[in-house]
Structure 1
Amino acid sequence: MATGITVAAARSAAHDWVKSSAHAYEGYVGAYFSGSTVDMKPLGELPLGSDVDVMVVTGQPVEGLKLGKFLHHGVLLEVTYLPWDRIAPADRSLADYHLAGGLRTDTVIDDPTGRLRALQRQVAAAFTDGTWVRRRCENVRQRIENGLRAPDTEAPWHDRVTGWLFPTGVTAHLILVAALCNPTVRLRYLRARDALADTGLRRHYPQLLRQLGAQELTADRVERHIDALSATFDCAAAVSRTPFFFSSDLTAAARPIAIDASYALARRGDHQEVVFWLVATAARCHKVLAADAPDLKAAHEPAFAELLADIGITSGADLRDRAARTLDELPEIWKTAEEVMAATTAGHQARES
């Protein structure tokens, strides 16, 4: 299934939304593109499952303010608000692996004061500097350690799964940041595999999959889990009322990202790379069902349990053991990241010479 929308047309829709809506927010400073579309060619087709990430910068406090995903002129946008003092001065962005990735190229949509583009140029000028690359990698490593060392053992099961899953998945971000690549969310394992291959280090990829537990899953098995998730997703999207930060990911408009794109990836042979987002989406669906339709939740629990069992998670003890193993292997993963940094730096210097 194709979107039939060019990247340029998708960006044009984002420009239109910024012009018509973002300016109205008090303290508006400007807006820029972030996420996976930053590296896409304008005349290429927007891939199935891709939204267009727009960061709106404001001088006002924006705690908890996120519009999330919504359709505008037929394009799925994801809008996030950022306070100016979160990204400026440039050192703050350069040290933050998510923020630096969004400002490494000129993706400014609107900049009425000129401050945003000036900041972007400063970030771009220092983005490949080895000191900052290492700082960002250390930022990633700290997120892994903090997330896995302090689990909330009293939380509901779906939250405990999420609490283990995301810091575990940040191991893929460590490779991406070392390779100067965009630390994408949904496709992090696919992109990490590509980054390792590009630097001649593909042999280290299975270690990342082992942390997740996806290394033995077959395409048929993954497709079966997508079938089950589609039913859970539709149920959760239909009853969702309680606002969560991820609520816009569980809507009819966002279904192509969670379900359709997962089928497409699995059927082309990237089935193990789909597993991270399947588990994340399933856990989020169960959080919604627990809050808004607890009477419907039980019907979808066997499918969730089956998905988790296939990656070796059946109990809290499994979560603890898996977290401990990732922490034990983190020095080895860090060594791989250092190899990626060295190879990427050498390649960058060769291109400049």
Structure 2
Amino acid sequence: MATQVLREAQPDTDAPKDTGGLDRSEGKTTGEVIALARKFVEDNYLGVDGFRGAHLVGSINHTEHSRPFPTYRDVDIAIVLDRVDYQEIEEVFHEGYVLECILSGAKRYASAEEILALPGMACNLEIDSVLVDPEGHLTQIQRRVSADFAKRLWVRKRVDAGLESARGALVAVQQAGSPIEAVHALGELIMHCSEILTVAHLNPPTHRRSLADLRPLMETEEELQLYEELLAAFGSSQITEPEARRFLDQCLEAFDRALEVKRRPVPFEWKLDPCIRDYLEKGTLEMIEEGNHRESLFWITLFFVISTAAIQQDGTAADKQAFGTRMVEFLDALGVGSEAAIAQRIQDCGGLIGRIQDYSDRFIATSPKLRD
């Protein structure tokens, strides 16, 4: 199982003194943040036994270097180490930014072919994202991934991997012991369905903005229908903007209370940290103010579920009653508040996965974006 640690990075004595945490009025450009990430890796990992290199992960790879990088967003860095079996996560607050250090086992980078087949990894090495590469191995893999990224063979493998994950998540929904467990698994299912459609179009899948970034890719009548079915399968298709804002407020209250009462581990507990609060609030408002209020429910749900789990475990009786009632209302709004509703959603999602597979098969075979 992955481990998660939050720590404060050691100050860089040669750098200007940081003066404002996550709410600094003057943020860095994306290029400056990339330089910050590179220096952090060099200072903390270069020369460490078993360190094989590091590269950027996520949307920062596809952001113009001159654009400001908001301080509420985290910076994802894959750090390749021999000592790690699969993956561990460390959240580090450094010079006003949260660095999510994804400590990845070196075996995962054995070849370009292994990377090319994985939807969550190929997109991160399709462009030059390498930060530090003491042996040149990551650079060699990155060049090969970039050269073959758009080939139908590899797009097919990445889509198939996404379909397998979506089906696994559907089984988790079926086996859930409660509505809150069901909605958590449902979120995983929707994320993988969005990932399938995104990688078919050669775009990088994301987490927070998975649905918001998918929408512009859906242009044909069939694609738009699939997109609406995806929102309906999650339960957010009929959520209004005022409702989304209200649920965000309730989620923030649950998050703050969870920080106060949490004593024991809960799933995804590394998300429960004060330095993540801005990312939750401002990252959600960013989507709502773009008109993506329905899509923002994916991010809200993740934190609402994690926070409520911590409260139900360690909160007072009054906390459990108050926040439990809110979660029931939230689940009802998503249409998964009863066993009957969940059973119907499972049936709907099974059909949706089949339609996404049919669509992706035809798209991969005929799209001029892809090549043989």
Same fold? TM cut 0.5? yes
Matches within 5 A, 1:1-353: 4-23=27-46, 25-47=48-70, 49-63=72-86, 65-67=88-90, 69-151=91-173, 153=175, 155=177, 157-197=179-219, 201-243=223-265, 246-293=268-315, 295=317, 296-338=319-361, 340-341=363-364, 345-347=367-369
Question: With structure 1 as the length reference, what TM-score do the two structures score?
Answer: 0.90
CA change 1:40–1:245 in 2 (3 A) is farther
Contact 1:178–1:338, Cα closer than 8 Å, also in 2: no
> Residues 84 and 205 from structure 1, CA distance in 2 versus in 1: closer, same or farther, beyond 3 angstroms?
same
Equivalent residue letter for 1:226 = L
* 8 A Cα contact 1:168 1:323, kept in partner: no
Gaps of 5+ in 1: none
User: Are the structure 2 counterparts of residues 133 and 271 from structure 1 closer, same or farther at C-alpha, using a change threshold of 3 Å?
Assistant: same
Identity percentage of aligned residues: 24
- State how far apart, in whole Å, the 2-side matches of 1:156 and 1:312 are: 14
Q: Which amino acid aligns with 2:109?
A: I
* Further displaced range: 230-239 or 103-112: 230-239
In the TM superposition, residue 129 of structure 1 has moved relative to its aligned partner by 0.7
Which amino acid counterpart does residue 251 of structure 2 have in structure 1?
Answer: L
- Structure 1 residue 169, shift from structure 2 partner: 2.7
Deviates more, 1:145-154 or 1:265-274: 145-154
Q: Deviations over 1:200-231 (max 9, x none)?
A: 94343212111111111110111111111110
Change (3 A) 1:189 1:342: farther
Contact 1:71 1:253 in 2 (8 A): yes
SS of equivalent to 1:197: coil
- Looking at structure 2, the residues matched to 245 and 292 of structure 1 have their Cα atoms a distance apart, in angstroms, of 14
Cα 1:253–1:150 shift into 2, 3 Å: closer
Q: Shift of the alpha carbon at 1:340?
A: 4.5
The structure-2 alpha-carbon separation of the partners of 1:236 and 1:53, relative to structure 1 and needing over 3 Å to count, comes to same
How far did residue 11 of structure 1 move? 1.3
How many corresponding residue pairs?
347
In structure 2, relative to structure 1, the CA distance for the partners of 1:255 and 1:72 (3 Å cut) is: same
Please tell me the root mean square deviation across aligned C-alpha atoms, in Å.
2.5
CA offsets 1:41-76 (integer angstroms, 9 cap, x no match): 001012465311100001223456321x33211112
Mapped contact 2:173–2:186 kept (Cα < 8 A): yes
Q: Is the 8 A contact 1:219 1:267 kept in 2?
A: no
Counterpart for residue 16 of structure 2: none
Counterpart contact for 2:215–2:227, Cα < 8 Å:
yes
- Residue 80 of structure 1: SS of its match in structure 2? strand
**1:39 positional shift:** 0.2
**TM-aligned CA distance change 1:27 to 1:244, over 3 Å:** farther
SS at match of 1:254: helix
Distance 2:101 2:265 in 1: 16
**What is the distance in 1 between the residues matched to 2:225 and 2:49?**
50
Report the TM-score when normalising by structure 2. 0.85
The CA distance in 2 between the partners of 1:26 and 1:318, in whole Å, is: 53
Paired with 1:306 and 1:267, the residues of 2 have a C-alpha distance of 24
Q: Secondary structure at the match of 1:214?
A: coil
Larger mean CA deviation between 296-305 and 84-93 belongs to: 296-305
Q: After superposition, give the CA deviation of every residue in 1:147-166 in whole Å (9 maximum; x if it has no partner).
A: 11244746455333212221
The gaps in structure 2 that reach 5 residues or longer are: 1-22
